[in-house]
């Protein structure tokens, strides 16, 4: 495997820091890892997995000589900087929503559509966390049975709102007088507590009453599966959980199936672990699965009304497979070519 120079833009965020840790942990074949952030973090030192990173201010020139640049500093930074990095010869793996729906940009989960990586023109987009976690579980069903319809209700961790979202939950539990200021959407006027609560809003609403998060699950799924007509509906809910997203998923398949066939397809699928032994109270739970690489599926049941319907409970770490790990895995695939 060739050795490359790597940059991580947004190194001080929840995903950026996780990503640096994964590069070290997985021995990513890098001769150099540049940790970039905004001017105000420049000079700051990060100790990650026994290695020290000194933050540099992100400028267009920061990408000179870089082969792979991981972007996780937010959509506006990605829009401003991605072409600068590409111009200097880097492949950008972008963790924001900036380019996900751009028809020129492949949107990739390596377990789902690895072949799309080759179509890139400098930028590869990392999907939204809740979409990644859902599709790792649904890809084997699409492959073996064909998906006819997806209905999903999510239970999403506060880590999806970054370090500040995680701190907000902690603050609320410690201090009953704490006034929420981050969730559901920091830039909107109203903020609500998440401790002992559920917030049925993730990101802003459109005119039809769906949130942007819900649309991401629809549009990104259709794009990655190359099925723009696929019926997908999502209801996305924030829950007082730290870093794993959970999803109650109903799918209709194109073929008849037995549960054994479904479980076999899941067992053979990369990145997916079946945790489904109800009799012994074995099923995926978010608190158990923090910092795990895989996505977990359990509560695998035939629907009670539709013989081609299937119900699942899927859990995955939002920061890891939902963001940083998927980006690193795209980078690893790039190096295989």
In the complex, the smallest distance separating the C-beta of residue 309 from its own copies, rounded to whole angstroms, is 7
Site size with its own copies, rule: CB under 8 A: 56
Q: Nearest approach, Cβ of 258 to its own copies (angstroms)? A: 13
Beta pairing class for 91-94 and 51-54: unpaired
Q: Which of 72, 120, 129, 244 is catalytic?
A: 129
104-141: burial string, b at 16+ Cβ within 10 Å, e else = ebbbbbbbbbeebbeebeebbbbbbbbbbbbbbbbbbb
- Residue 122 and residue 91: Cα distance in Å, rounded? 5
Per the annotation, the verdict on 120 as an active-site residue is: no
Active site residue 72: no
Cα angle 335-227-143, degrees, rounded to a multiple of 5: 65
Residue 302 binds to its own copies (criterion: CB under 8 A): yes
Residue (38 or 148) nearer to its own copies, CB? 148
Let me know: does 314 contact 284? Beta carbons within 8 Å.
Answer: yes
Q: Is the CB of 11 or the CB of 161 nearer to its own copies?
A: 161
Alpha helices in 162-258 (DSSP H): 162-174, 212-224
HSE at residue 321, side-chain half, CA atoms within 13 A, is 31
Using rule CB under 8 A, residue 222 touches its own copies: no
Smallest gap, in angstroms, from Cβ of residue 13 to its own copies?
21
233 binds its own copies, rule: CB under 8 A: yes
Q: Applying CB under 8 A, does 149 fall inside the site for its own copies?
A: yes
Least distance (Å) between residue 300 CB and its own copies: 7
Three-state DSSP at 337 gives: coil
Residues 295, 195: Cα–Cα separation, whole Å: 25
Minimum CB–partner distance for residue 229 and its own copies (Å): 9
Q: Which is nearer to its own copies, 102 or 283 (CB)?
A: 283
Helix, strand, coil shares of the chain, percent, nearest 5, are: 35, 25, 40
Q: Is the Cβ of residue 33 or residue 300 nearer to its own copies in the bound state?
A: 300
- Choose, by CB under 8 A, the member of 60, 231, 270, 291 that binds its own copies: 231
Does residue 270 interact with its own copies by CB under 8 A? Answer: no
The three-state secondary structure class of 332 is helix
- Could you count the other beta carbons within 10 Å of the beta carbon of residue 191? 16
Is residue 60 involved in binding its own copies (CB under 8 A)?
A: no
Residues in the chain: 337
Half-sphere exposure of 99 (CA within 13 A, CB side): 25
Interface characters, 176-205, with its own copies (x: CB under 8 A): --------x---xxx-xx--xxxxxx---x
Using CB under 8 A, which of 122, 285, 332, 335 touches its own copies?
285
Query: Taking CB under 8 A as the rule, does residue 246 contact its own copies?
Result: yes
Catalytic (active-site) positions: 129, 245
Residues that bind its own copies (CB under 8 A): 149, 151, 153, 155, 173, 184, 188-190, 192-193, 196-201, 205, 208-210, 218, 231-233, 235, 237, 239-242, 246, 248, 250, 276, 278-281, 283-287, 298-306, 309, 311, 313
């Amino acid at each position: 495997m060739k050795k490359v120079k790597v940059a991580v833009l947004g190194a001080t965020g929840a995903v950026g820091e996780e990503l640096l840790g994964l590069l070290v942990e997985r021995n990513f074949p890098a001769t150099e890892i540049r940790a970039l952030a905004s001017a105000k973090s420049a000079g700051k030192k990060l100790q990650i997995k026994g290695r020290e990173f000194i933050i540099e201010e992100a400028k267009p020139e920061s990408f000179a000589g870089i082969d792979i640049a991981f972007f996780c500093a937010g959509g506006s930074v990605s829009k401003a900087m991605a072409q600068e990095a590409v111009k200097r010869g880097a492949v950008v793996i972008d963790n924001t929503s900036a380019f996900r729906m751009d028809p020129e940009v492949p949107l990739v989960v390596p377990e789902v559509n690895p072949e799309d990586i080759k179509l890139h023109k400098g930028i590869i987009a990392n999907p939204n966390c809740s979409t990644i976690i859902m599709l790792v579980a649904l890809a084997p069903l699409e492959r073996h049975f064909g998906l006819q319809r997806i209905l999903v209700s999510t239970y999403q961790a506060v880590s999806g709102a970054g370090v500040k979202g995680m701190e907000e939950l902690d603050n609320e539990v410690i201090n009953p007088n704490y006034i929420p200021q981050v969730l559901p959407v920091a830039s909107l006027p109203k903020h609500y507590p998440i401790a002992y609560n559920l917030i049925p809003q993730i990101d802003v609403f459109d005119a039809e009453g769906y949130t942007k998060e819900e649309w991401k699950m629809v549009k990104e799924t259709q794009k990655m599966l190359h099925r723009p007509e696929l019926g997908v509906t999502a209801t996305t809910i924030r829950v007082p959980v730290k870093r794993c997203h959970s999803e109650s998923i109903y799918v209709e398949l194109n073929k008849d199936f037995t549960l054994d066939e479904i479980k076999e397809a899941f067992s053979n699928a990369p990145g997916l672990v079946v945790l489904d032994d109800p009799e012994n109270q074995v099923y995926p739970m978010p608190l158990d699965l923090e910092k795990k690489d895989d996505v977990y599926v359990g509560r695998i049941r035939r629907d009670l009304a539709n013989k081609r319907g299937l119900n699942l409970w899927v859990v995955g770490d939002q920061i890891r497979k939902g963001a940083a790990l998927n980006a690193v895995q795209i980078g690893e695939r790039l190096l295989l070519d």
